[in-house]
Amino acid sequence: MALDDYELLQDVVLRAMRLDLRLYKREQMERRLRAFGTQRGYASLAVLGEALAPDRALQSQLLSYLTIHVSEFFRDPRFFDDLRLLLPQLPQPPHTVRAWSAGCSIGAEPYSLAMLLEEERPGQHYQILATDIDERSLDLARRGVYREEDLRQVDPLRRTRYFSPDGKGYRIRPDLQQEITFRHHDLLRDPYPDEQDLVLFRNVAIYFTEQAKEQVMQRITRSLAPGGILMVGSTEAILRPQQIGLRQVRPFFFARA
Ligand SMILES: C[S@@+](CC[C@H](N)C(=O)[O-])C[C@H]1O[C@@H](n2cnc3c(N)ncnc32)[C@H](O)[C@@H]1O
């Protein structure tokens, strides 16, 4: 059977950008691809594909367009309230707490976690790995300067403690930045880290196919240390946690069995 124009473009995207669109829901991706092409004056997906293959800048723009980067500090605050209650379960010093923010976008999530660890585990060393597929988001995360609207959920005390004014924005405290490693990582392709005490995986899997989501969940489970905690978002529901070696400890929180 002949490939349609979406499938042909999928092929170009896979070869040129190493992004496997077969693992994302077609309806949403196709809509975004067509909108991206129309905005930039490409008459069809085929024409977009021809332009895309040799053009690195266009590829990077497309990747940023396809992925959704909405995030903010302490997004869904009650999740962070629950996380705070579970932090005492992490291994005690001198153990270094290892945490992974998978799909960290602009960095608000890993920085929020760093603040919680500073407050709840004072003096304990921690290392946060923060990864995303989108380089543009990672650049913003590494820069660490945020807008007022990104800080909606940050109370005045934390604003003073963790940020300094920077033009119209707010710059995160440099020593907090040093505890976080921002790295490019594709959850659908790259090897996963291991022995993590805590993994935050929220609002990322929304456009993954069900099968891809299941595989990612299994791999994330294996990246946890025994007893390690996984915090997911409402788009990452885990229907049968025990089948993949997880035990539910609160809504949206699981521990590796
Ligand atoms: C909506 S943001 C969520 C950010 C943060 N976790 C939060 O809840 O605020 C989703 C992020 O997932 C990233 N993403 C999408 N597909 C990915 C993949 N295959 N591997 C890694 N990150 C991916 C996007 O680039 C985007 O930055």
- The answer, yes or no, to whether the previous bond of 94 is cis (omega within 30 of 0) is yes
Q: What is the pTM of this model?
A: 0.96
Residues 93 and 172 in one domain: yes
Instruction: Choose one of 66, 97, 115: the last residue of a domain.
Output: 66
Residues 169 and 251 in one domain: yes
Residues 225 and 122 in one domain: yes
The pLDDT assigned to 239 comes to 87
Q: How far apart are the CA of 143 and the centre of ligand 1, in A?
A: 18
For ligand 1, atom 13: residue with the closest CA: 103
Q: How far apart are the CA of 253 and the centre of ligand 1, in A?
A: 19
* Regions of the chain where pLDDT drops below 70: none
N- to C-terminal Cα separation, the chain:
46
Neighbours of 184 (CB within 10 A): 11
Give the pairing of strands 196-201 and 224-232: parallel
Q: Which residues line ligand 1 (CB under 6 A)?
A: 67-71, 75, 103-105, 109, 132-134, 137, 185-188, 202-204, 233
The pLDDT assigned to 147 comes to 97
Q: How far apart are the CA of 136 and the centre of ligand 1, in A?
A: 12
Residue 134, helix vs strand vs coil = coil
Cβ within 8 Å of residue 215, ≥6 positions away? none
Residues 35 and 154 in one domain: no
Count of domains for the chain: 2
The CATH number of whichever domain residue 88 belongs to comes to: 3.40.50.150
Residues 59 and 153 in one domain: no
| Interatomic CA distance for residues 186 and 107, integer angstroms | 16
State which residues form the domain around 177: 77-256
Residues 91 and 45 in one domain: no
Cβ proximity of 133 and 67 under 8 Å: yes
The pLDDT assigned to 3 comes to 78
Whether 71 maps to a domain, the answer reads: no
Residues 82 and 120 in one domain: yes
Residue 106, helix vs strand vs coil = coil
Look at residues 160, 167, 207, 172 and name the one whose alpha carbon lies nearest to residue 187: 207
Largest CA distance in the chain: 62
Residues 42 and 163 in one domain: no
The pLDDT assigned to 237 comes to 86
Whether 19 maps to a domain, the answer reads: yes
| Interatomic CA distance for residues 141 and 104, integer angstroms | 8
Whether 72 maps to a domain, the answer reads: no
Q: Which of the listed residues 22, 66, 133, 234 should we mutate to test ligand 1's pocket, taking the one with most ligand atoms within 8 A of CB? A: 133
Residues 161 and 81 in one domain: yes
Residues 167 and 239 in one domain: yes
